[in-house]
A and B are shown apart, each in its own frame.
Chain A
Amino acid sequence: MSILILAEHDGKQLKQSTRQAVTAAAVWQLPIHILVAAEHADVVAKEAASISNVARVIKVEAAHFSHPLAEDVSAVLIKLAPEYKVILGGHTALSKSVLPRVAALLDVAMLSDVIQITAPATYVRPIYAGNIFATVESSDSTQVLTVRGTSFEVAADGGNAEIIRIEAPAANTTTRWIKEEKNVSDRPELASAHVVISGGRSLGEQFNSLLDPIAHKLNAAVGATRACVDAGFAPNDIQVGQTGTVVAPELYIAVGISGAMQHIAGIKDSKVIVAINHDPDAPIFKYADYGLVADLFKALPELNAALN
């Protein structure tokens, strides 16, 4: 028996979450296979094959995988499932949509957002917005799970896996892809950046003009609170928190963020947390390693200048 990882990619490159899933999978000490479903899978499959500790890459190519739908990706996984002891993916929009379908069709339980695998069927996962960690055991014949990327190292290159190709099942007839609106940014990806600077609603229209220069100097990803996104000052894909992206950078700078529970849940694995807020009673100061009580409209230009 082996382990199957659902690759996350953009058609050109693997997402870091796939490499983190490889690290998580090592606990079983079984051969690790990676499934690449794409319209054209060659480039991504080659990258996957070069990851250390990966034994096989399975390519499945079809036009309908240019924008993969949960119905179609789960059909591939179900076809492959009898060969596998474990099926896992990162805790990403794709895997979160696909893997519960797979678990239900296999009639097994699923474990979401696993942060620790202590034995081959014992998991730790956050519940209640990360306020509690639950230890859970599964006795199902197939283990299906998503793993939180920030809890596992990024697997490095150094492998030379075989690449095989399988036929794609026919496209589903219930759901079709219409369009996507990608938010393009030249900043590092939020989930994998070493530095993240996030702003709250109080930055208002000056969100970008205040944060971007500092993010540029620190090679940081830019994040935002839910309130800031709801107010239309930042796009939804940069929302940091339990309901957005969970981050764990070396340095997290929270600007004008009061520290709602769901935001804290998404940042508390950061190595160093800095909070800048004019309100000395803001809950974020309880979690910050360094707090600065200041008017952010003065403090941010000062910080930008100090980083020269």
Chain B
Amino acid sequence: MKVLVAVKHVLDYNIMPRIKQDGSDVDITGNKMGINPFDEIAVEEAVRLKERGIVKEIIAVSIGAENSKDTLRHALAMGADRAVLIQTDAALQPLGVAKLLKAIVEKEQPDLILLGKQAIDDDSGQTGQMLSALLGTGQSTFASAINIKDGEIEVTREVDTGNETVSIKLPAVVTSDLRLNEPRFLKLPNLMMAKKKPIETIVASELGIDFSPRLKQTKVAEPPVRKPGVLVASVAELVEKLRIEKVLP
């Protein structure tokens, strides 16, 4: 079977975002970028399915500017077979991304679509569910374990009260949570090999899809800072302070 994995090129998770001087947006210029960590988990899962002989082909897809190819190369080095960049320099929001991904899904006809549960830049956590709704397939969010058999995928999901298991007919959209797996470390030979794997480029504006942003970001700001704290010398002193604060029942 064929798996499509959507990957987003985002600011590296170790970097504290800076705000542009005019307060209009986050300034990411010149910063280290990389694959969205939740998407990396999705790629890893696809590669493990291939290693177990369940999956024949993995296609990594990214939407964004030319530099998103770095993230596609990362997915290829992990084990994806080929990659597609839907190229645009325009601002992207989940609904537009879901519509663009739908076009690729219709072209490629994968049996399974894997995505991270959210991107660590906008933290929306919407794209997988939106794509599933637009495609009319079943969905499962926050996956921590998956098992494929008899044309269905069984997914264990992390929900507020514990775990829930659902079974979805393929094709299906599944979004990965942190505990689905631990992505592999990229080895140099794999990185070199990834350079030879094909990346197809499709110009987003030529797909005839309206993916223009619906939301207008008017301002970004840093959250209010907490007042500096104090160190206490002992448990007794700590309890005394908390009694003064009246936070102990």
Residues A136 and B218 in contact in the complex (CB < 8 Å), given A127-B122, A293-B231: yes
Q: Is B87 part of the binding interface, using a Cβ–Cβ cutoff of 8 Å?
A: no
Contact pick for A272, options B93, B220, B242, CB 8 Å: B242
Do residues A104 and B129 form an inter-chain contact, with CB atoms below 8 A? yes
Cα of A245 to Cα of B159 in the assembled complex, Å = 10
Cα of A293 to Cα of B36 in the assembled complex, Å = 35
Q: Is B166 part of the binding interface, using a Cβ–Cβ cutoff of 8 Å?
A: yes
Do residues A71 and B216 form an inter-chain contact, with CB atoms below 8 A? no
Chain A's nearest CB lies how many Å from the CB of B94?
7
Chain A's nearest CB lies how many Å from the CB of B220?
5
Cα of A69 to Cα of B219 in the assembled complex, Å = 36
Q: List CB contacts (< 8 Å) of A262-278 with chain B.
A: 268, 271-274, 276
Cα of A154 to Cα of B99 in the assembled complex, Å = 37
Do residues B218 and A74 form an inter-chain contact, with CB atoms below 8 A? no
- B-side contacts of A127, CB under 8 Å: 26, 121-123, 220
- B-side contacts of A69, CB under 8 Å: 166
Q: How many residues of A contact B (CB 8 A)?
A: 92
Cα of A180 to Cα of B128 in the assembled complex, Å = 22
Residue-by-residue, is B122-152 near A (CB-CB < 8 Å gives 1, otherwise 0)? 1111111111111001111110100000000
Which residues of B line the A interface, CB within 8 A?
Answer: 11, 16-17, 19, 26, 93-95, 98, 120-134, 137-142, 144, 154, 157-169, 172, 177-179, 213-223, 226-227, 229-236, 238-239, 241-242, 245, 247-249
Listed A/B pairs (26) with beta-carbon separation below 8 Å:
A70-B139, A93-B157, A97-B142, A100-B125, A101-B132, A104-B129, A104-B134, A108-B214, A110-B130, A128-B120, A138-B215, A174-B137, A175-B172, A178-B154, A181-B163, A182-B162, A218-B248, A236-B144, A236-B179, A237-B158, A245-B160, A268-B226, A287-B226, A289-B230, A290-B231, A303-B235
Which residues of A line the B interface, CB within 8 A?
Answer: 10, 67, 69-71, 74, 92-94, 96-105, 107-113, 122, 125-140, 172-183, 191, 194-195, 218-219, 226, 229-230, 235-237, 242-243, 245, 250-251, 268, 271-274, 276, 285-294, 299, 302-303, 306-307
Known: A104-B133, A274-B238. 6 other contacts (CB 8 A): A127-B122, A136-B216, A136-B218, A175-B140, A268-B226, A292-B238
